Amino acid sequence: MWFPSWFWPSFAAPATIWLLLFFVLPFFVILSIAFGRVDPIFLTPSPVYNPLRWDVAPFRDVLSQIFTNGSVYQSDFLHTLAFVFVATALCLAIGYPVAYFIARHAGRFRTLFLVAFIAPFWISYMMRMLAWINLLQPNGYVNRILGGLGVANTQTPIQWLNGKPLTVILGLTYGYVPYMILPLFGVLDRIPSSTMEAARDLGAGQVTTFLRVTLPLSRQGILAGVVIVSLPMFGDYYTQTLLAGTRNTAMIGNLIVSSIQSSLVQTGASLVLILLVLLILPMLYYLRATSKSTELVAR
């Protein structure tokens, strides 16, 4: 209005250039490597930057491997899907009551609880995992407490870290549950008490109120939380390496990283593409939902 038409867009230029250079272009390199050639002697990738000369055969090979029964690609994908599903469900099961509590019942202690639940966001993820590695050692506190409670046998301590899927799932849940609580809290906080009181006035019991009023109203938050938690979990590889480190618990991220670190770089690039294709629908759904809501508020 008061500024020349190029004024505001120029503010966006540096960030856009940054994104083009370091986000879009790297993914183009991935495409160029996945569909490129490989040096026959040193097995290093030879990226092909001209889309017209791309060769999809190696990519199709990797894709077909995923559908081959018993191949490691298939098993890693299945592990990942299973872990993400169970861990996300656990995050929801734990996060919902906590978010509900902070939103509606914390009263005087609300700020304190908010701080307690925000804390994990700035406590280093690695440090939290390191803490668990120490607690889960055969002679660590977890086994000691379990032994003291009489639940576990102290003679043969439970080997938590020798490749148990349970440990990995619990680790993922521990790491990501704060991300579930945030959107849930946001949405539960916004339900006015008058709505809940109205339901009570109309004769609904506690459970009915929850199922027919609270739950539907918090649906957006649940969906947002599930997406925010599961998307990063799909790419997680370090939690598994720290807490287990065997083939039976390996995830897609492990395959990708180990491919890049050996002579199988082209395979790694193909796997990245497959991962993105797998996640593209939830990602786009999330993007669409957020742009809809921000443009809604912008009006």
- Binding residues among 117-136 for other proteins as defined by CB under 8 A: 117, 119-135
Supply the minimum distance, in Å, between the C-beta of residue 234 and other proteins: 6
Residues 188 and 100: beta-carbon distance below 8 Å: yes
Residue 297 contacts other proteins per CB under 8 A: yes
Residue 245 contacts other proteins per CB under 8 A: yes
CA distances from 47 to 30, 39, 58, 92, 299 (A): 8, 10, 13, 42, 46
Site for other proteins in 183-222 (CB under 8 A): none
As to burial, measured by CB atoms within 10 angstroms (0-12 exposed, 13-18 middle, 19+ buried), residue 79 is buried
Q: Which is nearer to other proteins, 195 or 261 (CB)?
A: 261
- DSSP assignment, residue 100? H
CA distances from 46 to 40, 95, 110, 136, 225 (A): 10, 47, 57, 44, 40
Supply the minimum distance, in Å, between the C-beta of residue 231 and other proteins: 6
Q: Which is nearer to other proteins, 146 or 161 (CB)?
A: 161
Site for other proteins in 156-185 (CB under 8 A): 159, 161-163, 174, 177-178
Residue 102 contacts other proteins per CB under 8 A: yes
Residue 229 contacts other proteins per CB under 8 A: no
Number of residues that bind other proteins (CB under 8 A): 133
Q: Which stretch binds other proteins (CB under 8 A): 146-154, 184-192, 212-220, 255-263?
A: 255-263
Site for other proteins in 15-74 (CB under 8 A): 15-16, 18-30, 32-33, 40-47, 49-51, 70-72
Count Cα atoms within 13 angstroms, Cβ side, for 221. 23
Q: How far apart are CA 200 and CA 116, in angstroms?
A: 31
**Which tokens in the block code for residue 110?**
């609300």
